[in-house]
Amino acid sequence: MKQTAAIIGGGVIGGGWLARFLLNGWDINVFDPDPEAERKIGDVLKNARHALPMLYETALPEEGQLTFCTTIQQAVTTADWIQESVPERLDIKHKVFAEIQTHCRPDAVIGSSTSGFKPSELQQNAQRPEQIMVTHPFNPVYLLPLIEVVPSDQTGAQHVEKAKETLTSVGLYPLHVRKEIDAHIADRFLEAVWREGLWLIKDGIASTEEIDNAIRYGFGLRWAQMGLFETYRIAGGEAGMAHFIAQFGPCLSWPWTKLMDVPELTDELTQKIADQSDAQSGHKSIREFERLRDNNLIAMMRALKQQGSAAGSLITDHESTLRRAPGTSAPMRTVERTVPIDWTDNNGHMNESRYGQVFSDAADAFMIAVGADADYIAAGHSFFTAETTVKYLSETHAGQKITVDSRVVLADGKKVKLSHQMLDASGQILANCEQFMLHVSLTTRKSCPPLAGVEAKINALAAAHKEDIT
């Protein structure tokens, strides 16, 4: 059965909510008096349609129907979920909630995107306070999963459960905040870091870029996959969280920060934190957590590398200093590397597509060796792969060192055929590949003979490799 969400306020956050629901098959009624709302929402949707489907290995549901409404009444009358994302003024929100509740169904969830107000403040003078709660998202809502679900004592338990079920059904993570507090949970951390950043800039200690680099090259990567307390649990070593607090707790009284109002680390508080950390993470040893942490960091930094961003760009720069030219020996050593964790499949070994990656990298090394490098490509010529045949001979696992030896077995003008062997550290052949390539003009996108210098190098390799084969 089709479900309907009403989006009240279609700015950056409201548009993100709209996209998350719409791309998960919900019908959407949106109300925003801004005459530019349809264009702005269209821009958000364009990004969401590009991004969200790429998270998954399967297709998303068919998009729901999007309707731009001229009144709040039209938007909310049939809605199962109502998301308020109007400006952060309590008087405006109260006015909007009053109109929503005049026309909406009593069983509908009314969530507010507010980052600062508590649900009890939102519920003041409401017709049905049990409907209203905070559902605070993080931008972009169509990608980041965290939603802080904050009820008050007046919020109905059935509405809270319905909210959590709905959010989970569209791929979000509802964090149930059991006790209302200003700015909820996540923004309190962000506010503390933000305040400290302002002081560091004011006192001339660091620039905005230096502060951002401290986060994205360091603890930001750790937080992204283990949060705060699991990160510090590992820092405590085999003795765990209690040892970490005993070792580093006194630092809280040192004048490291402008934020000096910290709780006293009594034995009771230390034990409470240690007990909660054991319940959270005690099922794994420190060594297991270290391995998990390392695997997660590898996957994230390799993703950043693919985008040429932050820590990933550092890897690319360093890699360029490590890469060795393949030379012209027979055979050519075109690949030397270790299989990364993100190349493995459900069977625990390297999946088929990554064999293609390895042999593609081997072909790239061959191209560089014969002069068909980046400058050659920029000048309008390259090689395209027309056909590959791969034979898988043995399993290949994450962490395994592999090499590829390549030979030119055909050099006939615009036609080149390479034979690759992928081997493990002991010399065992893991896979073979035959790769047929055509030289092309990037202007006409048609095959043509390579330029004379490149062709001469290919022919020389073919002659040398023929002797090696025979």
- Going by C-alpha positions, the residue among 147, 168, 155 that lies closest to residue 109 is 155
Sequence-distant (≥ 6) Cβ neighbours of residue 180 within 8 angstroms: 118, 119, 120, 134, 150, 151, 152
- Tens-digit pLDDT profile for residues 393-425: 999 998 899 999 999 999 999 999 999 999 999
Instruction: For residues 440-466, give the mean pLDDT.
Output: 94
**CB of 437 within 8 A of CB of 414?**
no
Q: For residue 67, report the phi and psi dihedrals to the nearest 5 degrees.
A: -125, 125
Q: Which two tokens stand for residue 166?
A: 């709905």
Q: What is the pLDDT of residue 269?
A: 78
Residue 260 has pLDDT above 70, yes or no: no
In this prediction, residue 31 has a pLDDT band, given cuts at 50, 70 and 90, of very high
- Tens-digit pLDDT profile for residues 264-310: 768 887 788 788 888 878 888 877 877 777 787 788 888 888 888 87
Q: Do domains 4-176 and 324-469 have the same CATH topology?
A: no
DSSP 218: I
Most confident range (mean pLDDT) of 44-58, 117-131, 235-249 is 117-131
Please give the helix or strand (H or E) that residue 232 lies within, else none: helix 229-235
229-232: long-range contacts (C-beta < 8 A, 24 or more apart)? Answer: 229/273, 229/276, 229/277, 229/280, 229/281, 230/277, 230/280, 230/281, 230/289
CA angle 425, 429, 434 (to 5 degrees): 130
Bond from prior residue into 140 cis (ω within 30 degrees of 0): yes
In this prediction, residue 318 has a pLDDT band, given cuts at 50, 70 and 90, of confident
CATH number of 324-469: 3.10.129.10
CA distance 74 to 56: 34
- Residue 384's beta-bridge partner residues? 438
Residue located via tokens 């939102």: 122
Q: Which two tokens stand for residue 364?
A: 């790239």
What is the average pLDDT score of the chain?
89
- Going by C-alpha positions, the residue among 402, 403, 414, 423 that lies closest to residue 451 is 414
- Going by C-alpha positions, the residue among 227, 58, 56 that lies closest to residue 146 is 227
Residue located via tokens 């049990």: 130
Q: Which two tokens stand for residue 194?
A: 């933000």
SS3 183: coil
Q: Which two tokens stand for residue 317?
A: 């720069």
CA distance 323 to 203: 42
Share of the chain above pLDDT 70, in %: 94
Number of C-beta neighbours around residue 438 at 10 A: 17
CA distance 286 to 281: 9
Read out DSSP for 120-147? HHHTTT-S-GGGEEEEE--SSTTT--EE
Q: What is the pLDDT of residue 263?
A: 62
Rg (CA), the chain: 29
The residue ranges of every structural domain in the chain are 4-176, 186-291, 324-469
The correct answer on CATH 3.40.50.620 for the domain covering 4-176 is: no
Residue 335 has pLDDT above 80, yes or no: yes
In this prediction, residue 245 has a pLDDT band, given cuts at 50, 70 and 90, of confident
Burial class from Cβ neighbours inside 10 Å (0-12, 13-18, 19+) for residue 83 reads buried
